[in-house]
């Protein structure tokens, strides 16, 4: 009996980006619960709390004040408790170096933030659909690498 919705978290310091992100999910067919955090410190405080409901997929902006996406990524991948969380890097950077480095550090997905809303919806819908397959079909998450 699989649960019928997906828990999603976004950490991003840009308010507009957070708004576009949550709006994009409202129109998706898959049921989702989306919550957002303003920076890496806020995010990690939430995740490390004992009663935290862990997300199925976490979207991480790379450039955030106080604690960057890369620092969060390393901290999360160092902690057994978080091993089932799929991590998507969600960044304006398309540098090959950032992409490969974050994959090596344990990110599953790398998304270059799309510039328009229609494209954003398409990209997020694709990511969620594929993540859903990993979630529901017993695919090996260690081999889950996706670049959009």
Partner 1 sequence: MKLNLKFDLNTIAKIHLNHLLKESNLNYKSIGFGEIEILEALSEEKIVELSAKLLENGIEIVENQKSVFVQKIKDAIIEMVQNPDDITVKSSVYLSEKLNYNYSYISNIFSEVTYTSIENFIILQKIELAKQLIISNELTLTEIAYNLNYSSVAHLSTQFKNTTGITPSAFQRIVSKRKELASKK
Interface with partner 1 by CB under 8 A: which residues?
A: 1-3, 29-30, 53-54, 100, 103-106, 110, 129-130, 132-133, 136-137, 139-140, 143, 145-148
Task: Return the DSSP state at 67.
Answer: S
Quote the tokens at residue 42. 């806020």
Smallest gap from Cβ 140 to partner 1, in A, equals: 7
Smallest gap from Cβ 37 to partner 1, in A, equals: 19
Phi, psi of 85 (to 5 degrees): -80, 125
Residue among 84 and 92 whose Cβ is closer to partner 1: 84
Residue among 33 and 66 whose Cβ is closer to partner 1: 33
Quote the tokens at residue 105. 């550090």
Smallest gap from Cβ 59 to partner 1, in A, equals: 16
Quote the tokens at residue 103. 């994959």
> What is the distance between the alpha carbons of residues 137 and 130, in angstroms, rounded to a whole number?
10
Check if the beta carbon of residue 89 is closer than 8 Å to that of residue 107.
Answer: yes
Residue among 37 and 134 whose Cβ is closer to partner 1: 134
């Amino acid at each position: 009996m699989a649960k019928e919705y997906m828990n999603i978290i976004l950490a991003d310091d840009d308010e507009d980006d957070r708004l576009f992100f949550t709006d994009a999910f409202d129109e998706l067919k898959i049921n989702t619960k989306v919550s957002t955090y303003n920076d890496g410190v806020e995010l990690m405080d939430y995740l490390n709390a004992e009663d935290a409901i862990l997300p199925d997929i976490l979207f991480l902006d790379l450039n955030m004040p106080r604690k960057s996406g890369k620092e969060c990524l390393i901290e999360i991948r160092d902690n057994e408790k978080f091993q089932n969380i799929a991590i998507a890097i969600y960044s304006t950077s398309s540098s090959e170096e950032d992409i490969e480095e974050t994959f090596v550090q344990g990110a599953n997905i790398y998304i270059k933030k799309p510039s328009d809303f229609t494209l954003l919806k398409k990209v997020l819908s694709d990511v969620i659909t594929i993540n859903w397959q990993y979630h529901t079909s017993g695919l090996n998450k260690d081999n889950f690498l996706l670049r959009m």
